[in-house]
A and B are shown apart, each in its own frame.
Chain A
Amino acid sequence: MFWKNRKMLLSAVVIFCLSLFTPTSEAHFFWERLPVFYALFGFAGCIVLIIIAKFLGKLFIKRDENYYE
């Protein structure tokens, strides 16, 4: 579990701190100037994708293994 993995957590903190000092001069969109946008995007995006996939899977995608036989 990554929560319990110290190295993982430490690198997350380091990246988080680094992101505060990243230059944003060449940004195309306003969100690229927000210091920790990509960290939040990665975290939220991952959860959103899992939830959407699970939801669609339950809704109609997943079928029994012998569905086509």
Chain B
Amino acid sequence: MNNAVHPALIFFCGALLLPLLKNRLQKQLVLLAIPAFAFIDLLLMPRGSCWHYPFLSYELVLGRVDALSLCFAYVFVITAFLGMVYALRVEQDGQHAAAFIYAGAAMGVTFAGDFLTLFIFWELMAIASAVIIWCRRSSASIGAGFRYLLVHLSGGTALLAGIIMEVSRTGSIAFNPLSFAGAGSYLILTGFLINAAVPPFNAWLSDSYPEATVTGSVFLSIFTTKSAVYVLLRGFPGWELLSWLGAIMALYGIIYALLENNIRRFLAYHIVSQVGFMVCGVGMGTELSMNGSAAHAFCHILYKALLFMAVGGVIQVTGREKITELQGRRLYTRMPVCFSMYMIGAFSISAVPLFNGFISKNMIIFAAGEVHRPIIYLLLELASVGTFLSLTLKLPYGMWFGRSPVDQSVVLKEIKEPPLNMLIAMGMTALLCIVTGVYPRVLYDILPFKATFSPYRLAAVSAILQVLIFSGLGYSLFMDKLYGERAVSIDTDWFYRKGAAVFMRWCAEFDAVRMSLQGVASRLTGKLVAVCRNPARLFSAILFNNTSPAEQYNPDAYRQAIGIGVLYFLCLFSLLCLVFFAYQ
């Protein structure tokens, strides 16, 4: 018997309920209760397939509940709760409602058993997340939100086209692993890759996430890319292409992060890099590598949310978000709790033993060793070095320490710790990062496949410690080279941001031609109208060379004459008809 309701429904109800409440306390209660209810609901959900609805000649499956979907659903709900704790003081109802719809849509994608349901929730996710970006209400965020939405709607269109081709080929809308056949599967893959931010489709992520509010970017970091990893695990396990794309992507994010000055964009590039590990795990397609992808998605959501929370705390308090503006202020002395939370997140993402990145990232790298892919193995190891280098060495040096301020003109106000609810959210997330790192069984027990992995082997711990300590030594040689610089990086969004400007210039020129043609046409029309007002004048002008000024047009002037003429003609015509019929 099924006692559960679809968790998306709970989130949607929350979104509808929020604007109806008057009291702030009630609203805060709802903000925390909805994800809690959703979590209880997940525990009640029966394994297997439920919520089947006939639609046209197909069957919609809203609840495919198995280990893979539950693994993602758990972490989505947990971090939705943590994100809400973090955002508790935000008084913009719209932002909370959008976050609930976003979370609900992600749950819908996670449990979708057919392509149509998947597509609907997929699009809903794009729209809700764009609203979260717009909630900052600055001109930059509005622009970034529109670019974000355009990219995702294009991805959604590719997905829909692929789905239609695939459904017409196979005759079924069930969402199962796809074969290599036909353009349909490639279009679906493109739709998924756009959401997973795989280069060259990655620029939307680093363009838009830093433009949201500090609480908004925590939610943004959770759902879109990881639900894309989920659908890749469902639809494209073992596609060779993905393992290469993933490995390249892992390094791509690192290179850009090393050059970045905006601290949230820095983290956004690390999402690209970390999702690269997961995509690579999907591409290798063994049970261990896919377990690794799922585990890494789980851990990544936690530590990335933590990093966005800690960095958001700095932005909230200082109002600055560039390394060049924060460097050399010794912020760690003013906000030590926030600093420790950041470092827990940084150690987790850098796969330091006892933190959760260690137990998941190494699973993917180990899987690359098992299937004997030396180049991918080394690329992933190099990306791990880069992660440690940028997030545990470069960014803390820029954000928390630094020798002297780069930009002397920037004066920071009174600096203290961020509000208590933010610190509590960070603390809970950090606790989860450490618990899963120290006691990995809690995570390994909910992984989708049977493959087992023991992270704490002497060889693995020794290897990671060697890598970390010696890359630290390497960094100390080049410390000054990585000082913050006032610059922006151009990414693949250059093509559509600059391309759109060129396109608009063309449009303006095209429009100028159109306007001049229209001017000619309207002048001609004016003349024609003048002629039509009094056609008789045209004849008199041509025949009698009459150039006297136009008289006022009098509609009755010729009415009688024409009327009589028509009457005579009708009489004549009637007579002719009579004669014709009489003599036939």
Contacts and interface: CB of A to CB of B under 8 A. Distances in A.
Interface in A6-46: 8, 11-12, 15-16, 18-19, 22-24, 26-29, 32, 36, 38-46
Given A45-B381, A57-B489, A64-B487, A23 B458 contact: yes
Most buried by A among B469, B475, B479, B486: B469
B466 interface: yes
A62 B474 contact: no
B459 A49 contact: no
B474 A28 contact: no
B287 interface: no
A49 B328 CA distance: 24
Nearest to A38: B466
Contact of B469 (A3, A12, A45): A12
A40 B470 CA distance: 7
Interface in A41-69: 41-50, 52-54, 56-57, 60-65, 67-68
A12 to B, nearest CB: 5
Contact of A67 (B372, B374, B490): B490
A2 B476 contact: yes
Interface string B458-485: 1100111111111111111111011001
A9 B302 CA distance: 32
A57 to B, nearest CB: 5
A29 B369 contact: yes
A43 B369 contact: no
Contacts of B481: 50, 54
Nearest to B476: A2
A34 to B, nearest CB: 11
Given A39-B470, A41-B467, A42-B474, A22 B382 contact: no
B256 A2 contact: no
A24 B459 contact: yes
Interface residues of A, number: 45
B468 A63 contact: no
Given A36-B466, A56-B255, A43 B490 contact: no
Nearest to B207: A68
A2 B475 contact: yes
Given A15-B462, A16-B466, A43-B471, A50 B381 contact: no
A62 B470 contact: no
A61 B489 contact: yes
Interface in B239-270: 254-256, 258-259
A2 B472 contact: yes
Contacts of B459: 22-24, 26-27, 32
Nearest to B491: A61
B577 interface: no
Nearest to A68: B497
Contacts of A64: 487-488
Give the top 6 A-B pairs by smallest Cβ distance, nearest first: A46-B474, A28-B369, A2-B476, A42-B467, A38-B466, A42-B470
Interface of B: 254-256, 258-259, 369-370, 372, 374, 377, 381-382, 385-386, 389, 457-459, 462-479, 481-482, 485-491, 497
